[in-house]
Structure 1
Amino acid sequence: MKQKQILFMHFSYWLLVIGNGLMSILVHNNARFSIFTITIFLASLLGFYANYFFVVPKFFNPKKFYMMIIGFFVGVFVFVLFRYSIEEIILPAITGKRNYGKGTTLLYYFYDNIYYSSLTVFVSTNLWFFKYYFKIENERTKLIEERKHAQLQALKTQINPHFIFNSLNNIYSLVYQDSDKALPAIEKLSELLRYSTKDLEKDVISLDKEIGYIESLIGLEKLRIKNPELLVVEKRVQNPKFNISPMLLVPFVENAFKHGDFREKGFNLKVSEENNVLHFYLHNFKNQRAKDTASGIGIENVKKRLEILYPKSHNLNIKDMESEFIVDLKITFPHESH
C-alpha cells in the first residue's frame, strides 16, 4: 500500500509539472517557448531522478546535517548540468537555437538556474525521504512481528516439556501401583505427543482440535482418578473450525490436574463459543496436602501469549483462593478468523 502511495506522489508531481508546462504554452502561444518548456522538462526529469536515486542516498546522514546541505547543492548542480547540456550544447547542434546568449558560462548558468532547480531537487529529496521512512517503518513492523513470532515459538516450546513432565509423573504412579491402566495411559500419551509435536509447529489450529487435546488429557487423567465421574465437562461450540493458537487452553486443565483435589471433589469445565466469542471456564478444588512451589508456570506462559496474540480482545479472570481455583477466560475473535 505504501509503495502505491509513493508512486501516486510521483505521478501527481509530474502531472502537475506537465499541466503547468501546457498552461504556459497556451498562455504565451509561442513555439520557441514550447521548445524550452520541453528542454526544462527533460532537465527536470533527469535531474529529479539522478538526485532521487544517487545524490540523496549518497549524502544522507542524519548525524551530519552539513552532508545533506552539500547533497542539496550537488543535486542543484546535477540539474543545471543536465539543462546546460541539453539547451546549450545538444539543442544548438540540432536546431541552431539556444536559451542563453552564445558564450554564456556554466557558472552564470548555474547561478541563474538555482531558482528553477531548487523546486525539483526539493521535491525529489522529500519524496526520497518518504520512501526511506516508509521502508524504515516497514522494517520496524517486520522486526516487531518476527520478535513476536520468536517469542511465541519460545513460549510454545516451554509448554510441551511441562506437559510431558506432568503426564509422565501420572504414568509413573500407575506403573508403580502395577495398575492395568498403565498401558492405556501410555498409549493415550503417545497419541497426545503425536498431535502436539505436529501442531505446535503451526501458528494456529482449529478450536475443535484444541478441545480434542483437552478431552484426551482428561481421558488420560481419568485412568488414575478413583471417581472419574467428578470431572464434569460441558462443551457448546458454534464454530469448531475457529482458529486458535495451539496449547492455549490446555495448560489451565494441566494445572487443575496437577494441583486439584480429586478424592471427593472434581472439577467443572465449560467451553463455549458463540458469535465469535470463546468462553473458557474451569473451577477446581485445590489439594491442600500437596503444595507445589513451582506451580503456575503454564498459566504465566498463557498470560504472556494472550497479551501477544489478543492484546485488546481477551479478558482473563483468575481467582486463586485457599481451597478453590477458578479460571474465567473470554476471547473475542476477529470475524475473518474462521
Structure 2
Amino acid sequence: MKHKQVLFLHIFYWLLIIFNGLIVRMIYSKGGLDILDVTIFLANFLGFYVNYFFVAPRFFNPNRFYLMIIGFFVGVFIFVVFRYSIEEVLLPALTGFRNYAEGTTFLYYFYDNIYYSSLTVFVSTNLWFFKYYLKVEEEKSVLIEERKYAQLQALKTQINPHFIFNSLNNIYSLVYQNSDAALPAIEKLSELLRYSTKDLEKDVISLDKEIGYIESLIGLEKLRIKNPELLVIEKNINHPKINISPMLLVPFVENAFKHGDFRDKGFVLKVSDDNKVLHFYLHNFKNHKMKDSASGIGIENVKKRLEILYPKKHELYIKDLESEFIVDLRIIFPYEND
C-alpha cells in the first residue's frame, strides 16, 4: 500500500507538469507544442530520476546539513548538463536549431537554469525522502514487532519457573507431613508440567485450555487445604475456542495461593466471556505471615504482557488492601477471534 502511495505521487507530479505546460501554451501561444517543450520535459524527467535514484540517497544526511546543500546543487548541475546536451549539442546537430544564442557559455547557461531546475530537484528530493521515511517506518514497525515477540517470550519464560517453584513448595510440605496426598500431588504436578511445557511454546492457546490449566492448578492446591469447599469457582464460558496468550491468567491464581490465607478462608474466582469480553475476577484474603521478596513478580509480568498484547483493549484493576487482594480484569478480544 505504501509503495502505491509513492507511485501515485510520481504520477500526480508528472500529470501536473504536463497540465501546466498545456495551460501555459494555451494562454501565451496559439500554436501547438514546439521542440523546446519536448526538450525541457525530457531534461526534467532525466534530471528528476537521476537525482531521485542516485543523488538524494548519497547526499541526504540530517546530521550534516551542508551535504544536503551540496546534493541540491549536484542535482541542479545534472539537470543543466542534460538540458545543455539536448538543446545546445544534440538539437543543433540534428536540426540546426538551438535555444540559446550561439557562443553562450556553460557558466551562463548553468546560472540561467538554476531557476528552472530548482523545482525538479526539490520535488525529486522530497519524494525520495517520503519513500525513505516510509521505509524507515516500516523497518521500525518490524523491529517493534520483533522486540514485542522477544519480550513476550522472555516474560513467559519467567512465569514458568515461578510456577514450578510454588508447586514444589506445596509438594515439599505434603512430603514433610508424610501425607497420603503427596503421591497424587506429584502426579498432578507432572501433568501440569507437561501441559505448560507444550503450551508455552505457542503464541496463543484456546481459552478453555487456559481455564483448564487453572482448574488443574486449583485441584493440586486443594490437596493441601483443609477446607477446599471454601474455594468458590464460577465459570460461564460461551466461546471456549477464543484465543488467548498462554499463562496470562494463571499468575493471579498462583499469587492467591502463594500469599492467601486458607486456614479458615478461601477465595472467589469468577470467569466469563459474555459478548467476547473476558471477565476475570479473583478475591482472596491475604496471609501476612507469607511474605517474600518474589511477591508480585508474576503479576508484574502479566501487566507488561497485557500492555503489549491488548493495548487499549483491556482494563485491569487491582485492589491490594490490608487483608484482601482483588483482581478485576476485562479483555476485549480482537476481531481475528471472530
When the two structures are superposed, what TM-score results if normalisation uses the length of structure 2? 0.91
* Equivalent in the alignment of 1:8: 8
In structure 2, what is the Cα distance between the partners aligned to 1:133 and 1:207? Answer: 40
Shift of 1:105: 2.6
Are 1:152 and 2:152 counterparts? Answer: yes
* Equivalent in the alignment of 1:332: 332
Amino acid paired to 1:68:
M
The size of the alignment, in residue pairs, is 337
* Equivalent in the alignment of 1:164: 164
* Equivalent in the alignment of 2:287: 287
In structure 1, what is the Cα distance between the partners aligned to 2:209 and 2:30? Answer: 76
User: Secondary structure at 1:275's aligned position in 2?
Assistant: helix
Contact map agreement 1:285 1:324 (CA 8 A) in 2: yes
Gap regions ≥5 residues in structure 2: none
Shift of 1:236: 0.8
* Equivalent in the alignment of 1:305: 305
Amino acid paired to 1:153:
Q
In structure 2, what is the Cα distance between the partners aligned to 1:62 and 1:293? Answer: 48
Amino acid paired to 2:111:
Y
Amino acid paired to 1:318:
I
Shift of 1:237: 1.7
Equivalent residues in 2 for 1:31-42, closer than 5 Å: 33-42=33-42
Which stretch shows the higher mean deviation, 208-217 or 173-182?
A: 173-182
Gap regions ≥5 residues in structure 1: none
User: Secondary structure at 1:62's aligned position in 2?
Assistant: coil
User: Secondary structure at 1:254's aligned position in 2?
Assistant: helix
Are 1:230 and 2:230 counterparts? Answer: yes
Amino acid paired to 2:102:
K
Amino acid paired to 2:136:
I
* Equivalent in the alignment of 2:84: 84
Amino acid paired to 1:228:
P
Amino acid paired to 1:222:
K
Amino acid paired to 2:105:
T
Shift of 1:223: 2.5
Deviations 1:86-112 (A, max 9, x none): 222223333443323333332222122
Shift of 1:63: 2.5
In structure 2, what is the Cα distance between the partners aligned to 1:265 and 1:273? Answer: 27
User: Secondary structure at 2:90's aligned position in 1?
Assistant: helix
* Equivalent in the alignment of 1:61: 61
When the two structures are superposed, what TM-score results if normalisation uses the length of structure 1? 0.91
Contact map agreement 1:189 1:220 (CA 8 A) in 2: yes
Which stretch shows the higher mean deviation, 172-181 or 224-233?
A: 172-181
RMSD over aligned CA atoms reads 2.2
Contact map agreement 1:267 1:285 (CA 8 A) in 2: yes
Which stretch shows the higher mean deviation, 173-182 or 248-257?
A: 173-182
Shift of 1:47: 0.3
Which stretch shows the higher mean deviation, 313-322 or 75-84?
A: 313-322
Equivalent residues in 2 for 1:41-60, closer than 5 Å: 41-60=41-60
In structure 2, what is the Cα distance between the partners aligned to 1:259 and 1:320? Answer: 12
Identity of counterpart residues, as a percentage? 79
Amino acid paired to 1:12:
F
User: Secondary structure at 2:102's aligned position in 1?
Assistant: coil
Shift of 1:38: 1.6
Instruction: Identify if the C-alpha distance between structure 1 residues 320 and 106 changes in structure 2 by more than 3 Å, giving closer, same or farther.
Output: same
